[in-house]
Amino acid sequence: MAGCLALAILTYGGFALGVNSLTIGFLFNCVVLVVALRFGFWPASFTSLIAVASLDYYFLPPLFSFRITDPKGWMALGVFQLAAVTVSRLSARELRHAREAAIHRKGMAQLYELSRCSLLLDMHMAPGPQLVILIHRIFGAEAVALFDLNLGRQDRMGEWGEGEEDLAKQCYFRDATGSDAPPGLAQRILRAGPDAVGALVVRGNLDPLVVDAVASLAEIAMDRHKWFEKEERAETARRSEEMRAAVMDALAHEFKTPLTAVRTASSGLLVLGGLTRPQTDLATVIEGETVRLNELCTRLLKTAKLEAERFGLKTDEVNVDDLIREVLNTREMNADHDRVQVFVEDPALTLRADRGLLGMILAQFVDNARKYASPGSLIEVRAKKSNTEVIISVHNFGSTIRIEDRERIFDRFYRAAEMVDSVPGTGIGLSVVRKAADAHHGHVWVISDEKEGTTFFLSLPIGPRRKL
């Protein structure tokens, strides 16, 4: 309508002023261009036909006739139509690009908002309920559903029809992709590395690329929550371990005083004499068990200090052969002294270590060998030096240790199921051994089978100890 009005004004003015056909044709073409630019191809085509008719009727001979006898009329019609097609197509493309750019900018702004909000999620709560609310609000989606495999839960927001209650979960288990979704429904599998961790389903008019980006942000948020939970559990375990170590420390100290009194009394009774044979036997049992309890308290104290990193190592040059023989000559080991054979590669072999802790490790290894060795069988203690470390081993034939237990026996209070009833023990000794070895930057391990027997190993590095 606006184009026809402009043509009418130009025709009246041009005819009244006697403007030539070339000038009026140029003005008509400008009108066609403007209409094509503003309104598109079909309005521009109609305007071009009106322009040609006006040009032919009022400005090309024969005047006041619609018969086109001058080639200029046909040329004008072609030019007007070409201008209408070209400009309308260019205009339509630019408008489409502008709309796409606007949608893209809006999507980027929404994604930025979602990413910013996802960083502020409360990691003490499940991420699913928080994410579906954010996606629904920020992107204006009709409905959102998210399935989290790690937590085993599905969260929804918006209106879902009957039979769509578990759509996100079904999407995950079917491994459905975006191409499988019905119109208006976008579904994505959420992955952390190669593994699927959940699924996202969104109903609404969202760009597929935007949905992909939303799915990536959801994956990151879920992965963050997973690692946050692990860190929280580790922190809780650490605090629990500190409290338990403090309790062990306190209890061990409290036990030390009455145990010392009991041991002194039992030793005094034996020294005084005058006891009957049964009384002597009972006093001997009391003293022996008191010694054992006292040793157990000492181990508990050392464990608590090692785990709390409050145990200052008093390192010195320790002769390995002398230390082994010193351990074997203690009262507890004396009864089985003849069963133990010592093989030290170099009698002058020395090691920079805490003498007390190293002696405790050797005593525990030999004590274990005595408990689990076959009656009358030999126990071998060996020490040798390699390029970078000193390796001490204690070997015996007897009960073997299953493969699945060989690492766990160094955990506190763990005992192999088949040994719980057959051999007395607390499951503390080897855990202290590992802590003591770690304090020296060393390593402990065990190998065991029926043919070769059982051997416990301790390796300690040669040279100055690194700072803890």
Instruction: Kindly report which listed range (135-144, 152-161, 413-422) carries the lowest average pLDDT score.
Output: 413-422
Joined together, the tokens standing for residue 394 give 């204690």
**Cα–Cα distance for residue pair 229/4, rounded to 1 Å:** 72
Check pLDDT > 90 for residue 16. no
450 SS3 class:
coil
Domain range summary for the chain, segments of one domain joined by +: 2-101, 123-311, 315-461
pLDDT at 406: 82
Instruction: Kindly report which listed range (155-164, 305-314, 360-369) carries the lowest average pLDDT score.
Output: 305-314
- Domain 315-461 part of CATH 3.30.565.10: yes
How many CA atoms lie within 13 Å of 364's alpha carbon, on the beta-carbon side?
A: 29
Check pLDDT > 50 for residue 18. yes
Check pLDDT > 60 for residue 309. no
Instruction: Kindly report which listed range (17-21, 41-45, 182-186, 415-419) carries the lowest average pLDDT score.
Output: 415-419
Check pLDDT > 50 for residue 468. no
**Cα–Cα distance for residue pair 212/210, rounded to 1 Å:** 5
Check pLDDT > 80 for residue 312. no
pLDDT at 286: 84
9 sits in the region (left: phi over 0; alpha: psi -120 to 50; else beta) called alpha
Query: Per residue in 283-299, pLDDT tens?
Result: 888 877 787 777 767 66
User: pLDDT band for position 394 (50/70/90)?
Assistant: very high
| Residue 64 DSSP label | T
Check pLDDT > 70 for residue 403. yes
pLDDT at 246: 61
**Cα–Cα distance for residue pair 328/333, rounded to 1 Å:** 5
Check pLDDT > 90 for residue 275. no
Question: What's the whole-model pTM score?
Answer: 0.43
Check pLDDT > 70 for residue 6. yes
| Residue 398 DSSP label | B
pLDDT at 380: 92
**Phi and psi for 40 in degrees, rounded to 5?**
105, -170
**Cα–Cα distance for residue pair 200/191, rounded to 1 Å:** 11
| Residue 230 DSSP label | H
Helix (H) or strand (E) holding 224: helix 208-272
- pLDDT average, residue stretch 343-372: 87
| Residue 336 DSSP label | T
**Cα–Cα distance for residue pair 88/94, rounded to 1 Å:** 10
First to last CA, the chain: 89
pLDDT at 146: 92
- Domain 123-311 part of CATH 3.30.450: yes
Joined together, the tokens standing for residue 178 give 């975006």
| Residue 454 DSSP label | E
Query: Per residue in 28-60, pLDDT tens?
Result: 677 766 776 677 666 766 777 677 677 666 666
| Residue 139 DSSP label | H
pLDDT at 466: 43
